[in-house]
Amino acid sequence: MGIKACLEDKGIMQLKLKGKKQMRNRKRIIIAMMAAGCICAGGCGIKELSSEILTVVESMTATSEEAAAAPEEEPPTSPADTARPPETDTAALEAYSAALEAIFSQNIWPDGKEIDEGEYKAGGFSGNKFAVCDVDGDGREELLLNVTSASMAGMFESVYDYDPDTGTITEEFRAFPMITYYDNGIAKCEWSHNQGHGAKLWPFTLYEYDSDTDTYVYRGSVDSWDRDLAAEGFPSEYDADGDGTVYFLYDDENMTDSTTVDGEEYQQWLDSFLTGGEEIRIEWKDLNEETIKM
């Protein structure tokens, strides 16, 4: 899906802004909305995105003269209007594009660390993916890499952020590549292994984006025990609803201690993080030398 289609999809093209002042706001809104996550829904590459952004802005400017004669309206007060200025976002896109090229030309990850060729490239470096999307909800796009061309232990998904002050890219989050991002800043990370007694629920950890540190912080983990899977020692005293499953909540990252609860309390715990958050749909693209050139 192109940027224009993406904008129409989100109803942005229907903004009825009139007058020259409003046209300036309108341009800022279009760019800011892209920065706020529209880009990740588009099916195009970074360089293509940059040119599409310019095309959309130019077409907006071209129609501003007709709109100038229309009566004035109240200026928009969308929060997106106060987002980071567009030239900075362009710099981020250029930095991400260069970082993707460097994976192949310089054998380094986007944060500058050397790629272990034996681990990641010996098998052909295939099946890996990338995306550009605002996953942490701070109004700016991050670069995401989903890397599976490795042993289980080497597989990862990373969120890289561009710092406009230093012009560098840093890694703000990394986990096993089974992550679901929510637009309230929560990342649900499924474990690479399920070694417990629970089969109905795959264990996972929740992290939450912290804008002060521009990183994700641990918020809790959950594992479970199904009596059907292992009856011996099953803690029936916690199975209040009698469905044969209990849950273990870990509130410290070392997971030394857990609280055993039943389904209702587990659901309340989960709701306390996910209620009000919508899953972010990420448009992944294959990571290879051709796709990053688009």
Residue 19 or 37: the one with the smaller Cβ distance to Ca ion is 37
Residue 211 or 291: the one with the smaller Cβ distance to Ca ion is 211
CB of 105 to Ca ion, least distance (A): 26
Residue 85 or 154: the one with the smaller Cβ distance to Ca ion is 85
CB of 287 to Ca ion, least distance (A): 20
CB of 14 to Ca ion, least distance (A): 26
Residue 243 or 252: the one with the smaller Cβ distance to Ca ion is 243
Reported residue count of the chain is: 294
Contact residues for Ca ion, defined by CB under 5 A: 134, 136, 138, 140, 239, 241, 243, 245, 262-263
CB of 185 to Ca ion, least distance (A): 9
CB of 139 to Ca ion, least distance (A): 6
Residue 148 or 260: the one with the smaller Cβ distance to Ca ion is 260
